[in-house]
Amino acid sequence: MQKRHLGKSGLEVSAMGLGCMGLSFAYGPKLERKTAITLIRDAFEKGVNFFDSAEAYGPYTNEELLGEALAPIRDQVVIATKFGFRNGVIGEGLDSRPETIKAMVEASLKRLKTDRIELLYQHRIDPLVPIEDVVGAVKQLVEEGKILHFGMSEAGPDAIRRAHAVLPVAALQSEYSLWWREPEEQILPVLEELGIGFVPFSPLGKGFLTGTINENTKFADDDFRNVVPRFTEENRKANAKLVEVLGQIADVKGATRAQVALAWLLAQKPWIVPIPGTTKLNRLEENIGAANLVLNNADLIAIAAALEQIKVVGDRYPAHLQKDVNR
């Protein structure tokens, strides 16, 4: 697989990463451990060297899974993880105090079975802790060699600039896809100006852009999408037009809807690296295949024209979670 540089950080990763959250968190029953480890190693064998986790995925179990899966190939991969929630539990609120960051990193290193983390993100901006204090704590960990690069997630332009002034921000991880394009307005210009890479999560719209979800789809009881406004039955039906457009382009290109959606992201900027997640080998292979799909200018113009005619409906987060985004 081709490699990409995350901005000017010097951090080089596979053009497609693997978002590991869904292996053990948020999307229904977690994958059996042995099966999940096999999937992670299959991803590496197929060219993926960029693996994304967080202490909050579980909590903690996702990092443990990744640590075990990647131990035999540790020096050949790039591990990204995140801090920022009290006790690693999203429902307990934000906590980016310097002492918490340092303790979290020590615990994450043990779970990941490693002596360094290539990319450490602040999972969400903590309004009670100045970003300069947060980045200052991370900078100390960089100086100790425990962290190689710093990243942010769902941060707004002001916070990105302030953080970058203390320690170069290697990457921003935020939602971006054909059905969530808000980063184009303010975020992408700032990243380009500062030389920061962009790692879109949910690049397939939490599965919707694959074309396998419609208004009749039933999610598992513990699937996060049950509380996402954009995934109500009514909104899924309204948003089906976007999937139809993807299908038309996919048919012409001899590709799948998911591959077109991922290739579209790759075509936006050379420093964008999506991290689609999956629990299935065939979907993993499909996603990786998108790295070889080239959308020409005519394709991109056709997609842009189609998007002008489509209004995606439904908020992407429940109200109680939306308040923590883009501070």
Give catalytic residues, as residue numbers: 57
The residue among 124, 193, 187, 194 whose CA lies nearest residue 166 is 194
If you search the block for the tokens 């948003």, which residue do you land on? 239
* Strands 169-175, 50-52: pairing kind: unpaired
Residue pair 123/327 in contact (Cβ under 8 Å)? The answer is no
Which of 205, 144, 148, 195 has its CA nearest to residue 172?
Answer: 195
